[in-house]
Amino acid sequence: MVLLLLLLLVLQMPGVQTGLARFATEKLAGAIDGRLQIGSISLHPFNAVTVKDVTIIDENPCPDRYGRGAAPMDTLLHLGKLSATLSPMSLFRKGGIHIGRVDAEDVLFNLAIEPDGEYSINLTRIFRMGGSSDSTMPLDSLF
């Protein structure tokens, strides 16, 4: 019990939370075809997490398929703030983390229809959903 309390105290330190944001960025960056940026992660004791300034940049945005002269949108997603409540007991179970409620603020999401190719929209390409089996990455391989 003392070890758990010590761990919770250490996780409240800004330097540790910055390191956690870097670790999460590095782990998730290999799972997507894009650039991921996470500003900060704050762990709230026992039941919540807040992530600020999350951006996913499309490294290969599709061109304007209608020829209207619009510039390609390279930002797939920007979240100013994402807060989630979670069950602390789920951290110790094999079934994964149980998330209760998610709140998002300052959200920008650009969904684009891709020109002819393996994927139909930018979301499926960036997160490697569908397409050939060589290009997909199961989420359980992240950790």
Q: What is the mean pLDDT of each run of 10 residues along the chain (143 residues)?
A: 73 78 80 88 82 91 71 86 84 76 94 78 85 50 45
Dist. CA 127–CA 132, nearest whole Å: 13
Contacts of 84 (CB under 8 A, 6+ apart): 48, 49, 50, 99, 100, 101, 102, 103
Query: Could you give the CA distance from residue 104 to residue 50 in angstroms, rounded to a whole number?
Result: 10
pLDDT on residue 3: 78
* The predicted structure's pLDDT at residue 131: 59
**Which one, of 34, 67, 68, 40, lies nearest residue 52 by Cα?**
40
| pLDDT at res. 136 | 47
pLDDT the model gives residue 142: 44
pLDDT at 113: 81
